[in-house]
Amino acid sequence: AGCLQRCLGRRLHPAPSAHRASSAVRRDFERREPYNYLQVAFFKLKKLDQAVSAAHTFFVANPQHLQMREDIEKYRRMSGVKSDSFRDLEATPHWEAYEAGVQHYDADEYLQAVARLEESLTEALSAVEECRALCEGPWEDEDEEEEMQPGLYEAIAAHYIQVLKCRQQCVLEVATKPGRISATEDFIPSHLDLLQFAYNQVGNQTVAAECAASYLLFYPTDEPMLEKMKQYRTELGEDTAVTARQNIQHYVQRSLMEKKLIYYAVEHLGETFNDPDLWTPDELIPENLKEKYREDQEKQKQETLDVEDRAKRGPLPYEGVAVTMDSHQMNGTQRVVFDRVLTESECKDLLRLTKAAGEAGDGYRARRSPHTPHERFEGLTVLKAVQLAQNGDVEWRDAKLLLQASEKSRKIIESYFAPGKKLHFSFTHLVCRTAVDGQQEGRMDLSHPVHADNCLLDPEGQECWKEPPAYVYRDYSGILYLNDDFQGGGLFFTEMDTVTVTAEVHPKCGRLVAFSSGKENPHGVWAVSRGRRCAIALWYTHSREHAEQERVKAEELMEQRSVEQDWSDGEKRQGTDHSSRSSSKPPVPDSGTKPANRRQKPGSDRKQHPKVLRARDEL
């Protein structure tokens, strides 16, 4: 302690303790916040190259920062800004070397790959050591409200375990690229795996065997690597000693000893621990903790995916629409509930359209549901709705609203889950499920059994097979509810066993539930026991070749209707102008008549959609 005080005193005058940053300041530096201020200051000082470097450095760690993205684009358009000014001032040597090494490896340039991967491994291990040294800081009390103060031995143990846990997490810090949420799995072992293959390709079996032996310290039962070791021993001769690298031996042994101490504290002192390594041997974990350890690992992985999902999301494209439940609140991944997508009057208009579905629907026509004999099922596609409007069976504005409501849902889901990546409609279905009177007593089945939308669910095998007849091209699903005046009919999500319910969604007008279509989201619908439940069922795909063709046809018919309406209105206006020419008043320009029919939505992609559907003002 005295040695440290003298050292710090020489480097940081006057009192070393005055220089300890708060956790908030440390977080700001981890997020590179100072560079956000620096780029503004440099810009004001007209030091453009330094401003660009500061902006780029901040943006690398904060790729979702919209204002900085705009600033970067402005800098790119400015004359006098050098291209090499767009550099990361906080770039870590191991990441630069690692990415270059992997690129050479993928290009079969093994000699260059070996050099860069060796550099990356050396720098990564050095970064781990530096991080570990910084763990020996002050005690940070995680439970400040604790009334009982620990005694001497408890305090020493608690602080030491905190240091050990911090040291264990260092590999995650080193393996996490700036701007990313999750670390690269098995960062250190993966270097050795790549190196053994690359050295073998360049004919250096001695070092290849050394790398393989080092890898086996992490995964001693890995069969492919054990086979490679046999091959190397045969090629080098049985008498040739093959040993793991000394620095890797030290790394593994030290880590295992720390884990042993930490797990003892977890078992006997009430500590908690999220193990950062996939290679931790099972025998190191106490028996009573193994199941909890597996659950924690799965939960940690899911939370990381969820955070990454949130980080990737863009802003919602409509004001007033609100996220009321996200994946975390729904105990899953890639699930969300939006409210206020439709108004009450829009729900009523669409419910009026559902009456036509019962009378002239698209094949079901109020027959018994395909999923249960206790309900009637009515369905209407967008094309059928437009055709009914052509025949005068429904109002044009109601058919148009169906197209617009589903398009609004698509834009919301696209912006939330897949910003920058086009989602196409796969299928759109206005559906109602009605409880059959006299058929509900003793009912045990569901309105729609548990399933996944793009794979065949196998609950016993805990698998979901992505093969026909499943709609394997579907990527996201949505349900836009129109009413809540019925009993039952709620959506629920389950585990892969189809039995363990993880979340429920209660329908109401304007509520949109959206989720990814894969095995991560098995779902079903509770029985509708009284009344009539109506909703727009929506499925989306990133695959353009699987886009909904009926929708394209429906949009063309709707556009044709609008053109005819414009032509009819134009003729009426011409007749009015002609009849008023004898009047003493000058003709008034008719620019205010039906502006919506002249309007084109900005940013419409005419290459993808020759016929552009105009947006309704209410939406």
Active site residues: 533
The β-bridge partners of 541 are: 424
Other C-beta atoms lying within 10 Å of the C-beta of residue 605 = 8
Q: Using alpha carbons, select from 404, 409, 411 the residue that is nearest to residue 349.
A: 404
CB neighbour class for 296 (10 Å; exposed up to 12, middle 13-18, buried from 19): middle
Contact 434, 532 (CB under 8 A): yes
Angle, alpha carbons 153-157-160 (nearest 5°):
140
Instruction: Determine how many CB atoms are found less than 10 A away from the CB of residue 376.
Output: 21
Instruction: State how far Cα 385 lies from the chain centre.
Output: 34
User: Residue 524's beta-bridge partner residues?
Assistant: 492
Tally of CB atoms within 10 A around 424:
19
Strand 501-505 and strand 335-339: the pairing is unpaired
3-class SS of residue 587: coil
**Other residues' Cβ atoms within 10 Å of the Cβ of residue 77:** 7
Tokens encoding 65? 């920062």
| HSE-up (13 A, CA, CB side) for residue 274 | 13
Locate 359 and state its tokens. 């009378």
Half-sphere exposure of 512 (CA within 13 A, CB side): 28
- Structural contact between residues 327 and 336, judged by C-beta atoms closer than 8 angstroms: yes
For residue 422, what are the contacts with CB-CB under 8 A and spacing of at least 6?
414, 542, 544, 608
CA 605 vs CA 236, 412, 422, 568, 610: distances in Å: 63, 18, 11, 27, 8
Residue identified by tokens 């669910």 is 457
List the end-to-end C-alpha distance of the chain, in Å, as a whole number.
Answer: 67
| Spatial contact of 456 and 465, defined as CB atoms under 8 Å apart | yes
Helices (H), 45-138: 48-61, 66-77, 93-106, 110-134
Q: Are 248 and 212 in contact (CB under 8 A)?
A: no
Residues in the chain: 619
Distances (CA, A) of 547 to 230, 403, 422, 615: 52, 15, 11, 21
Helix segments in 313-375, DSSP class H: 344-360
